[in-house]
Structure 1
Amino acid sequence: MKFSISHLEQLSGVPIHTIRIWERRYHALTPDRSEGNTRIYSDAHLKRLLDIVSMVQAGIKISAACSYTQLQINSFLENEINKTVGIDERHEFYISQLVKYGLTFNEVEFSRLLEGCFSNYTIEKSYQNIIYPVLQRVGFLWRKDEVCPAQEHFITNIIRQKLMVAIAQIPLASLNKSTWLLCLPEDEGHDIPLLFANYLLRNNGFKVIYLGEKIPTNSIQNAIHQNKIAHLLLFMVRQRPLAETNKLIHELSNQNPDINIHLSGNKDLITSLQLDQKINYLPSIAAFITHLHQLSHAN
């Protein structure tokens, strides 16, 4: 694909002026040029920029990160992949086998193994210890050009289907606690964590209005105004400009003073935001589960 510099900003969260500085000062990227001298970026440029962002977030100086060769970047990514290895050998078996079956488009074995995870460990523990590491590993493999988009989509779509089946099996009549509104901002498309949150909430007896991915702010407001919403949960996964994100959160907070707003996803982004006291940051699945248990006792 071909990207403009504004597309690169949206996909990486790095402001345009920062991208230009990194190009000029550190030679981070060397874009092509159109006949009108406009910067044109490729998939390779996007991946390199995402790698640079990851290295900076890991504590590597920007000057060093921009000078890394592809071999050094691959070594860094390999270390990140190693972090997804399950501590429990049984978990790692499922992780590695699911990745294998996913990369070979083996739906029968992938589904069988995933259903075995749910049966042996429950959906909650399967997501924490197996599914999430699988998604992380596949993401890093994509960055190393060892996974193509078709393979990634194949894996995520089966996981999405299984979560939706599990959600559909929870009786609506059993949902008698406060209502949560779940959605992703209009520039976010990674809905699997949100689907898992949907499952957890319903499994704990909470009502859920699930809007899904890429929801404009005015549509979020419309849903809030037409329903008695107690909690709003936003997942923000991608890196994005801080000023833009602060504006979004403050707008939602100011217009909905009686709603509890919860944020989860990109730790580096969310911890850099200017959040008021009524905004609750959920840094992990465990933190979310603990919060749900506390709310369940209060209901």
Structure 2
Amino acid sequence: MDKYKYSISDLEQLSGIHVDTIRIWERRYNALTPMRSAGNTRLYNDQHLRRLLNIVGLSQSGMKISQVCALSDQQIDQLLKKEIDYTISSDSKIEYYISQLLKYGLAYNELKFDQLITSCIEELEMTSTYKNVLYPLLVRLGLMWRRDTICPAQEHFLSNIIRQKLFVAIDKIQVKNKTTASWLLFLPEDEDHDIGLLFAQYLLKSAGHRVIFLGGRVPMDSLKDAMAHNQSEHILLFMVRSRPVTDAQAYLNTLSENFSGSKIHLAGNSKLLTQLQLAENINWFQSIEGFEQTINQYQNVN
């Protein structure tokens, strides 16, 4: 059994499900069976976390909580396998790239992975490679983690190679700014998965926009300091991880108030973002195509 390392508050932060709701699901539906400390404190492990995330994901796809919680781990695994099957591309060439890159990545074969992804980028170009190959690969990887068929080290290995390729692609862009406006890119201080943010930087720089890239885990005070020195007209952030709706709403409200003179562009966890009330200066784009349209909209604005 995995080490018991999570409190119920940790599960709330990682899943976005309120502590009281987790307790209700445990009491009413036997959703989780935590370990108890000597002081009767609930303690959870990675298997509990995966099961909770799967319960959340399946319930958001339309199943009733009572139905999902009644499923065995094996039944949930079968449903996840079906979700993975849905990620298989109908284009045989695209699916070849996805499946082979996944195979090399899980085997820690950096040479083969690098050779294949380089060929893919040469054939499809970076934008199409990200949309059709890398993003679906990352989605499939996340589902495999939820099935407990890969370990965190494999996920980190694959993600870091993809990040390296994005860095190289960004570095190759010859900067020819077509607008005086600038974009400030960052992730909140509880977010560190920056692949989507790196791809956004690639798209912006390719379109001739000035970009200030802060990366992940940026505290609000650091963001204020960067804005004080640059006064960027556009701010872009991703909110990917699950979190309580009240926390996400409060964060975006603070962001909107502190930077009321800037247009704030938001992407990420659609299941979370659909539950939020967005201020007038916050624009939520729900797809890569939507972001590309936003880029084109501002490209010739001085």
The residue identity in structure 1 corresponding to 2:19 is I
Q: Secondary structure at the match of 2:187?
A: strand
CA–CA separation in structure 1 for the residues paired with 2:129 and 2:86: 17
Aligned 8 A contact 2:189 2:216 in 1: yes
1:90 to partner: Cα distance: 0.8
Supply the distance in 2 between the matched residues of 1:95 and 1:242 (Cα, whole angstroms).
34
1:59 corresponds, among 58, 62, 79, to 62
How far apart are the structure 2 equivalents of 1:57 and 1:263? Answer: 21
Structure 2: runs of 5+ lacking an equivalent: none
Post-superposition CA distance 1:20-47 (Å, at most 9, x none): 1111111111110111111110000000
Other structure's SS at 2:173 match: coil
The separation in 1 between residues aligned to 2:111 and 2:277, in whole angstroms, is 46
The code of the aligned residue for 1:95 comes to I
> Which residue pairs with 2:206 in the alignment?
203
Question: Which runs of at least 4 in structure 1 moved beyond 6 Å after TM superposition?
Answer: none
| Aligned pairs (5 A) from 1:17-36 | 17-36=20-39
Counterpart of 2:150 in structure 1 is 147
Aligned residues: 298
Q: CA deviation at 1:195?
A: 0.7
Q: Is the 8 A contact 1:263 1:270 kept in 2?
A: no
What CA distance in whole angstroms lies between the structure 1 residues aligned with 2:259 and 2:18? 29
In structure 2, what residue type is equivalent to 1:140?
L
Matched residue, 1:72: 75
Give the match's secondary structure for 1:205.
Answer: coil
Deviation at 1:258, TM superposition (A): 1.1
RMSD of Structure 2 on Structure 1 (CA): 1.2
Q: How far has the Cα of 1:148 moved from its partner?
A: 0.7
1:276, distance to aligned residue in structure 2 (A) = 2.1
SS at match of 2:212: strand
CA shift at 1:89, angstroms?
Answer: 1.2
Distance 1:240 1:176 in 2: 37
Amino acid at match of 1:273: L
Please tell me the residue identity of whatever aligns with 2:150.
Answer: V
Q: 2:251 aligns with which of 248, 262, 267?
A: 248
- Partner residue of 1:212? 215
How far apart, CA to CA, are the structure 1 residues paired with 2:49 and 2:183?
35
Separation in 1 of the partners of 2:255 and 2:112?
Answer: 43
Of residues 185, 189, 192, the one that matches 2:192 is: 189
Aligned with residue 175 of structure 1, among 174, 177, 183: 177
Residues 181-229 of structure 1: CA deviation (Å, up to 9, x unaligned):
1111111121110111111111111111111111112221221122120
Q: CA deviation at 1:249?
A: 0.6
Tell me what 2:90 maps to. 87
TM-score between the two structures when normalised by the length of structure 1: 0.97
Asked if 1 retains the 8 angstrom alpha-carbon contact of 2:167 and 2:198, the reply is yes
If the length of structure 2 is used for normalisation, what is the TM-score? 0.96
Deviation per CA, 1:100-131: give whole Å up to 9, x if none. Answer: 10111110110111111111111101000000
Offset of residue 80 of structure 1: 1.3
The one-letter code of the counterpart of 1:294 is Q
Aligned residue runs from structure 1 range 82-161, under 5 A: 82-161=85-164
**How far off is 1:176 after superposition?**
4.3
Give unpaired runs (5+ residues) of structure 1.
none
